[in-house]
Amino acid sequence: MKRGLLIVISGPSGVGKDTLIKRLLELDPNLIYSVSGTTRKPRPGEKPDENYTFLTREEFERLVAKGAFLEHANYNSHLYGTFRDRVERARSEGHDVVLKIDVQGAEQVRRLVPDAVSIFVVAPSEHELQERQERRGSESAEDLASRREIAGREMKYAADYEHVVTNDDVERAVGEILRIIDAARQRVP
């Protein structure tokens, strides 16, 4: 069986990565989302092992020591990591695996998996991004401020990605990402 692709999606907080990924999975049944581990607390409505596997810092660090993460990073004072076994299992079953990870994680994945497809999602404008962040309303004012500061820094990494997609309209952006994935499928021998 043909081994699945690894697709890395990054972008500033609030740009709409979750919505895009949800729609991608609806439209392409071969895609699988790899649920990450995190030490951050669940947001209202977030489900364990669906949005994230929620871990204590001790649990997370034990998993790091065991080599359980393909990559891991500290984002806004919380730890996030991609489970190596989840990615491996899905890829060996022929599924293309989507990772939603920050720029530090993406850098690690690019080093480990040079043929990973990397996509950086941007908002149509700075103003629109700020509005989306406020609309989400799930973060405290302090958290929002630090996420904005991180987003400013992260934008500088867009050039390291193979593709930059503007999330101006969900269906259009998803269509563009599906075409990128299709092209990558053709490229794999």
Site string for ligand 5GP, 129-168 (x = CB under 6 A): ----------------------------------------
Q: Which residue shows structure tokens 């992260």?
A: 154
Burial (Cβ within 10 Å: 0-12, 13-18, ≥19) of residue 9? buried
> Of 33, 60, 80, 120, which lies in the binding site for ligand 5GP, with binding defined by CB under 6 A?
80
> Of 71, 96, 120, 133, which lies in the binding site for ligand 5GP, with binding defined by CB under 6 A?
71
CA distance to 42, 74, 122, 135, 161, per residue, from 138 (Å)? 10, 20, 20, 9, 28
Q: Is 101 in the site for ligand 5GP (CB under 6 A)?
A: yes
- Interface segment toward ligand 5GP; rule CB under 6 A; list 99-107, 112-120, 121-129, 164-172: 99-107
Which residue's CB atom is positioned nearest to ligand 5GP?
Answer: 105
C-alpha to C-alpha distance for 139 and 133, rounded to whole angstroms: 9
* Nearer to ligand 5GP among residue 45 and residue 189 (C-beta): 45
Within 10 angstroms of residue 4's Cβ, the number of other Cβ atoms is 20
User: How many residues make up the chain in this entry?
Assistant: 189
> Which residues contact ligand 5GP by CB under 6 A?
13, 36, 40, 71, 73, 75, 80-82, 100-102, 104-105
